[in-house]
Amino acid sequence: MKNEWVICPICQSKTRTKIRSDTALHNFPLFCPKCKIETLINAEKLNITVITEPDA
């Protein structure tokens, strides 16, 4: 199993979250301690995609 740190999509720094190659996340709120921004992500097989929701 391969482990990787989740990288912040905003500032490209390492977050406090690690995922494995068999981890699947859907609508996961990822918080970055450096830029203090929370983003929603999906992750599957170490591929991370950012969810952009329209403002209401």
Q: Are 27 and 40 in contact (CB under 8 A)?
A: yes
Question: How far is it, in rounded angstroms, from Cα 56 to Cα 47?
Answer: 28
**Location of structure tokens 């599957």:** 44
Domain boundaries, given as residue ranges, for the chain: 3-50
Q: Model's pTM, two decimal places?
A: 0.83
Q: Are 13 and 7 in contact (CB under 8 A)?
A: yes
What pLDDT, in 10s, does the model give residues 7-28? Answer: 999 999 999 999 999 999 999 9
pLDDT higher than 90, residue 53: no
| Banded model confidence at residue 55, pLDDT cuts 50, 70, 90 | low
Q: Are 13 and 22 in contact (CB under 8 A)?
A: no
**pLDDT for the residue numbered 1:** 82
